[in-house]
Amino acid sequence: MDLRQLQFLAALAREKHFTRAAAACNISQPTLSGRLRQLEQELGVPIVERGQRYHGLTPEGERVLKWAHVILDNWQAMQQELGQIRGRKEALTGKLVIGVVPSALPMAALLTRAMQKQHPGVDFTILSHSTEEILRGLNDFSLDVGVAYLDNEPIDGLVASPLYRERYCLFVANAHPLAGRKTVTWAEAAREPLCLLTPNMQNRRIIDRAFRTAQCQPTPRLETNSISNLWSDVRFMGLAGIMPEYFLAALGPVEGITAVPLSEPDVEHGVGLLVVDREPLAPIVAAVQHVARNFDPTGLHKGPAG
């Protein structure tokens, strides 16, 4: 068994397609399949469900994948640390895989911008995940760090670095009767034709709790797991949406849409960077943790050079 075999397995699990996984690893599809069969023979267990297409991993394969993520994560961390010991701190390189709850994706761009400014050799993979997926990805090492809510879900075994406080607005068309208001109550919002994130998203659970506190029960006209689709539904379908207040700044000037702060109750939640609590910490993870501790959420208002 060698590291390349484990990298091929991780790529196949990520891409869920033999040809795409092979392309991501810069090898041919037969080579990838052959190396994975060799890994199965060496370990004495079936790893990939056999078929003309990718059908997933076997239960044994899922366990091998978890160990592969651990081994590859530790290998990358060791390489980075040895590079720093050799005096190449300015040359921190590698790929940082970040899981982000959908409502925090605009802020994640500020985090990666600050990270790239300090460490231009680092590349990024940003994945839109639910909080549960982020916690699972951190625990099985398929994610390096996560950006998620800090106030609601248990984060045992993780270290949290607060990034910003999230507050909520009702987004409506400029012609909407509520558009000229300074604030809108949650009870008033519940009576509107709403588009909301799906119930498995923590942002939606926060919104549902606010409605319960206001002793009202909305009936969403549309639910989606995509924050960009939520925005489009407000703009093109004429629905009302509940999103973080910074979305207007994040998405740039958008004609025809107004964001009205929600009140009664006043709701805000902390969002932060999550990393696994372990020693030694991978240098690339320690670097983004340092960036998070100096994070400036007002950068959304400053543009690319802010």
Q: Which residues of 205-238 are buried (b: 16+ CB within 10 A; e: fewer)?
A: bbbeebbeebeeebebeebbeebeebbebbbeee
- Residue 198 has a pLDDT of 93
CA dihedral defined by 150, 270, 297, 162, rounded to 10 degrees? -50
In this predicted model, what pLDDT tens digit does every residue of 25-66 receive, in sequence order? 888 888 888 888 888 888 889 888 877 678 888 888 888 888
Has residue 47 been placed in a domain? Answer: yes
- Residue 93 has a pLDDT of 80
Which of 91, 121, 147 terminates a domain? The answer is 91
At residue 261, the 3 state secondary structure works out as strand
Task: Report H helices in the chain.
Answer: 3-15, 18-24, 29-43, 59-85, 105-118, 131-139, 186-190, 202-213, 227-237, 247-251, 283-293
Has residue 126 been placed in a domain? Answer: no
Per-residue HEC secondary structure of 108-134 comes to HHHHHHHHHHHCCCEEEEEEECCHHHH
Which of 66, 91, 116 terminates a domain? The answer is 91
**What values do phi and psi take at 145, rounded to 5?**
-145, 165
Q: Which residues are CB-contacts of 303 (< 8 A; sequence separation ≥ 6)? A: none
- Residue 53 has a pLDDT of 76
Q: Which residues of 260-295 are buried (b: 16+ CB within 10 A; e: fewer)?
A: bebbeeebebebbbbbbeeeebbbbbbbbbebbeeb
- Residue 19 has a pLDDT of 87
- Residue 281 has a pLDDT of 78
Has residue 133 been placed in a domain? Answer: no
Has residue 125 been placed in a domain? Answer: no
Say yes or no: 87 and 171 in one domain.
no
| Domain span at 200 | 166-268
Q: What is the mean pLDDT of the chain?
A: 86
Q: Which CATH number characterizes residue 230's domain?
A: 3.40.190.290
Has residue 20 been placed in a domain? Answer: yes
Has residue 61 been placed in a domain? Answer: yes
In this predicted model, what pLDDT tens digit does every residue of 228-251 receive, in sequence order? 888 889 988 989 999 998 887 777
- Please count the structural domains in the chain: 2
Which of 57, 76, 91 terminates a domain? The answer is 91
Whole-angstrom distance, CA of residue 150 vs CA of residue 152:
6
> Does 303 score more than 70 pLDDT?
no
> Does 304 score more than 80 pLDDT?
no
Q: Which CATH number characterizes residue 48's domain?
A: 1.10.10.10
> Does 88 score more than 70 pLDDT?
no
pTM over 0.75? The answer is no
Has residue 84 been placed in a domain? Answer: yes
Has residue 264 been placed in a domain? Answer: yes
